[in-house]
Amino acid sequence: MLYLELKNVSKNYDGKNKIIKDISLGIKKGEFIVIVGPSGCGKSTLLRMVAGLEDISDGDIVIDKAVVNNISPADRDIAMVFQNYALYPHMNVLKNLSYGLKNRKISKDEIEKRVVSISKLLQIEELLHRKPSELSGGQKQRVAMGRAIIRKPKLFLFDEPLSNLDAKLRHQMRIEIRKLHDKLGITSVYVTHDQVEAMTLADRIIILNGGKIEQIGTPKEIYENPNSIFVSKFMGTPPMNIIKAKVKNSTIEIGDISIDLKNSYNEEYIHVGIRAEDISLSDFNNSIKLRVDIDMIEHLGSESFIYSTIENNPIIVKSSEFIETKEDKLDIYINTKKLYFFSDKEGKIL
């Protein structure tokens, strides 16, 4: 049973300049969906179209079986958390929380009941009589969430809600948002450019690129089976290593080694992907040896990153050892079972 459905949705300004190109997707009730993509990919626009803050140029948006294309934002029964929180600066926390309920003519008793339970849930009871200017970033974030939750909406929309917080707080709030979702079970759509947020929060991830869906899947699927170079490089830190290699009679050559391809392939070049953690510094089963040039080594304490190149292709190797070497060459061993092959022209998985 789909709860939120986008059917061939497009967005353009004045007939040209297409920002969203024919997107279709379905979201189940209670799911936590994260839309992720680089800046300018249209992810915020898509979210705001769901909210009704942007018009739809083409297609339908369906919430809970009803087409909402022409329904005003207030009547779509959705709530949204904004990047800059958008708290009303002249109202205290209590009034910020209850403003939307008042406009919906909900009784005073009910409003009070909800304020009490929400402020308890979010631990903002002490802040109720403060103005937004007297709150810290994390507190503002909580109030913004409270203002959304208190309405008991059908759909919960987040527009990069954590990007104004520092790294530590962002991590903490991330966990709280996921906990809150598990507790309340409200269907949520969350927009971010941060792939870590996407991996940790989502039931399913939608990767958007240039106004089109690049891939949809659970974090595990996306990480293990990226279907394009774009996805493979976008998800995961460090990004997947991609080596451009020449194809010769269904074998490819990298440096002085060659690898057999399972299927024949009739383009001149192919892109070979390997994740940093699938490269080792010592020999193991199914591995092949590559000799690379070391550019730099970065020590993070628990692990080291070796930045190297082979035939002008950068390769990052992750190691749990503290690497110290005076050499400028290094032998690395890559797991042939964990190789990804992408087409040269379109960058799609083969």
Choose between 78 and 206: whose C-beta lies nearer to other proteins. 78
β-strands 78-81, 155-159 pairing: parallel
Residue range at the interface with other proteins (CB under 8 A); choices 82-90, 224-232, 287-295, 340-348: 82-90
103 touching other proteins, by CB under 8 A: yes
Strand-pair partners of 209: 212
- Contact segment (CB under 8 A) with other proteins among 3-11, 89-97, 274-282, 325-333 equals 89-97
Count the Cβ atoms, other than its own, within 10 Å of residue 82: 16
> Minimal distance in Å, beta carbon 100 to other proteins?
3
CA distance 144 to 84: 9
Q: Please, what is the minimum distance in Å from the beta carbon of residue 149 to other proteins?
A: 13
Judged by CB under 8 A, the residue of 99, 138, 212, 281 near other proteins is: 99
Number of residues that bind other proteins (CB under 8 A): 25
* 89 touching other proteins, by CB under 8 A: yes
Report the nearest approach of other proteins to the CB of residue 57 (Å).
Answer: 16
- Segment holding 35, helix H or strand E: strand 32-36
Closest to other proteins by CB, 101 vs 173, is 101
Contact partners, residue 256, CB within 8 Å, separation at least 6: 291
Between 82 and 265, CB nearer to other proteins: 82
Cβ nearer to other proteins, comparing 46 with 315? 46
Cβ distance to other proteins smaller for residue 163 or 225:
163
Question: Quick one: 86 or 288, whose CB is closer to other proteins?
Answer: 86
Q: How many CB atoms lie within 10 A of CB 331?
A: 12
Residue environment code for 46-78, b if the CB has 16+ CB neighbours within 10 A, otherwise e: bbbbbbbebebbebebbbbeeebeeeeeeebbb
* 234 close to 195: Cβ distance less than 8 angstroms: yes
How far apart are alpha carbons 230 and 343 in whole angstroms? 12
Amino acid at 13: Y
* Contact map string, positions 128 to 147, toward other proteins, x by CB under 8 A: -------------------x
- Considering the rule CB under 8 A, would residue 78 count as an interface residue with other proteins? yes
* Residue 51 contacts other proteins per CB under 8 A: yes
DSSP 185-202: --EEEEEES-HHHHHHH-
Residue 66 interacting with other proteins (CB under 8 A): no
77 touches 65 (CB < 8 A): no
Please say which residue, 59 or 100, places its beta carbon nearer to other proteins.
100
Strand partners, 33: 189, 204
Interface positions with other proteins (CB under 8 A)? 48, 51-53, 72-74, 78-80, 82-91, 99-100, 103-104, 147
